[in-house]
Structure 1
């Protein structure tokens, strides 16, 4: 039932709303069908970001992709946790590592989801920034990839999402926006700094090529 709900929600309702009402343009994502698993990484300026990426996916894959989200924001109550899990398919994690409780550690939870066969959506900036002002990438996504080098990451540039739904504003306004996919990449290094630098450059390159 959850699979059907997610497919209808994102491939029909959310996608059409974003495209027709908000003005979001979706680039082709059918190439993802060739990948068994992947980690989607993107810049982060709006609460529309995760929903927009979910709506851009091939509908047959939507239920197998989990957006990684902060538990202290999207899981404050049991009801909110249920909504996030059922309608967003979110993987709720703590913002910081938890050495005393390994099973609550964010890296552990992301690795566990990958071992269960899910793909992930990760925003390496960790929190929403200001449009066109990218923040430094946090190490988590690189650490997950180092432990799962067989899984490629796919860079995504989200254009003008922060203007369609600005940070601190719950109002969605029409604004020409876009989701631009890059190509799948497998890491060739176990150096966290080098991996994050490459990711950031690839997202910036997508921005440059589509402005």
Structure 2
């Protein structure tokens, strides 16, 4: 049942709302159908970001993709966690490592989700920043990729979301917004956390330049 709900909500209702009411221009993401699994990595300026990426996905795979979200925010109460898990398909994780409890460690939980067959949506900045201003990338996604190097990452960049729904503001307003995707990429032999994050930052810079070009 959840699969049908996710496909209908994001494939129709939210996509139409974002496109017509907010003004989001969606890139064609059907290329993701060729990938068995992937990790979408994207910049982060707004709570609209997750909805926009989910609404961009081909409907047939929406239920197989889990946005990674902070448990202390989206799972603050049991009800909020249930709603988030059901209607957003989230993977709720804590923000800090927990090496004393491997089952609760965020890196291990992301790896397990991949091993269970899911793809992920990750925001390497970790938190929402100011519109069109990128923050330093945190190492979590690189650590996950080093443990599962056969899984490709897909860079994505969004413009205008921070204006349509700014941080600390629950009001959604129409604003010309866009989302673009880069090509799926595997990490390279010999890569470490630093080299992976450097390459991701270059990917974001290229997509930002692309999306800003009239």
- With the shorter chain as reference, the TM-score category is over 0.9
Indicate yes or no: 2:147 matched with 1:147: yes
SS of the aligned residue for 2:170 comes to coil
Structure 2 spans left out of the alignment, 5+ residues: none
1:73-118 deviation digits (Å, cap 9, x = unpaired): 0000110000010000000000000111111100010000000000
Note the 1:106-185 alignment, pairs <5 A.
106-185=106-185
> How many angstroms apart in 1 are the aligned matches of 2:149 and 2:4?
31
Q: What's the CA shift string for 1:113-156, capped at 9, x where partnerless?
A: 00000000000000001112111000000000001110000000
Paired with 1:209 and 1:122, the residues of 2 have a C-alpha distance of: 21
Q: Distance in 2 between matches of 1:2 and 1:174?
A: 29
Structure 1 unaligned regions, length at least 5: none
Paired residues in the alignment total 211
- Residue 7 of structure 1: how far off its partner (Å): 0.3
- C-alpha separation in 2, matches of 1:81 and 1:75: 4
2:60 alignment partner in structure 1: 60
Q: 2:19 maps to what in 1?
A: 19
Secondary structure of the residue aligned to 2:85 is helix
Q: Secondary structure in 2 aligned to 1:69?
A: strand
Does the residue aligned with 1:60 lie in a helix, a strand or coil? helix
Alignment of 1:30-109 (within 5 A): 30-109=30-109
1:178 is paired with a residue of what secondary structure? strand
Distance in 1, matches of 2:81 and 2:159, equals 29
Whether 1:192 and 2:190 are equivalent positions in the alignment is no
Shift of residue 200 of structure 1?
A: 1.0
2:204 corresponds in structure 1 to 203
Q: Partners of 2:115 and 2:191 in 1: how far apart?
A: 20
- Residue 60 of structure 2 aligns to a residue whose secondary structure is coil
Superposition CA RMSD, Å:
0.6
